[in-house]
Amino acid sequence: DGGITQSPKYLFRKEGQNVTLSCEQNLNHDAMYWYRQDPGQGLRLIYYSQIVNDFQKGDIAEGYSVSREKKESFPLTVTSAQKNPTAFYLCASSISTGEVYEQYFGPGTRLTVT
């Protein structure tokens, strides 16, 4: 079955540690995205990548880093510089359907930092 997988579902870390969230897709999509979701704030874009070896900052990139070495994979690292890392993180991917880039989402990773 084609889709997007994120692992793990729940992740716990101590403050000051870097942590990497996994996102893999087998949809053959060119573009991939990372969002952060907090209660009452909707989804906010962290980083996105339209092709391999290239990515752009979103609206809240500070304290995060990404890589795109393979088309299928787009891991997100939450660094110790991120002041409030506890949140629900969603990965998405998209392919152009004509001019429209509808996005497909993974199941998410809930990160708790204490």
Partner 1 sequence: AQSVTQLGSHVSVSEGALVLLRCNYSSSVPPYLFWYVQYPNQGLQLLLKYTSAATLVKGINGFEAEFKKSETSFHLTKPSAHMSDAAEYFCAVSETGTASKLTFGTGTRLQVTL
Q: Binding of partner 1 at residue 99 (CB under 8 A)? A: yes
**What residues contact residue 39 under an 8 Å CB cut-off, 6+ apart?**
none
The residue to which tokens 């989804």 are assigned: 43
Cis previous bond, 75, omega within 30: no
Q: Binding of partner 1 at residue 86 (CB under 8 A)? A: no
Q: Binding of partner 1 at residue 114 (CB under 8 A)? A: no
User: At closest approach, how far in Å is the CB of 3 from partner 1?
Assistant: 10
Q: Binding of partner 1 at residue 94 (CB under 8 A)? A: yes
Q: How far apart are CA 76 and CA 46, in angstroms?
A: 9
Q: Which is nearer to partner 1, 5 or 20 (CB)?
A: 5
Q: Give, as ranges, the residues between 12 and 51 that touch partner 1 (CB under 8 A).
A: 31, 33, 35, 40-45, 48, 50
Counting Cβ atoms within 10 Å, is residue 14 exposed (0-12), middle (13-18) or buried (19+)?
A: exposed
Amino acid at 52: V
The residue to which tokens 């088309």 are assigned: 71
Among 36, 106, 111, 113, binds partner 1 (CB under 8 A): 106
Interface residue list for partner 1 (CB under 8 A): 4, 31, 33, 35, 40-45, 48, 50, 88, 90, 92, 94, 96, 98-108, 110
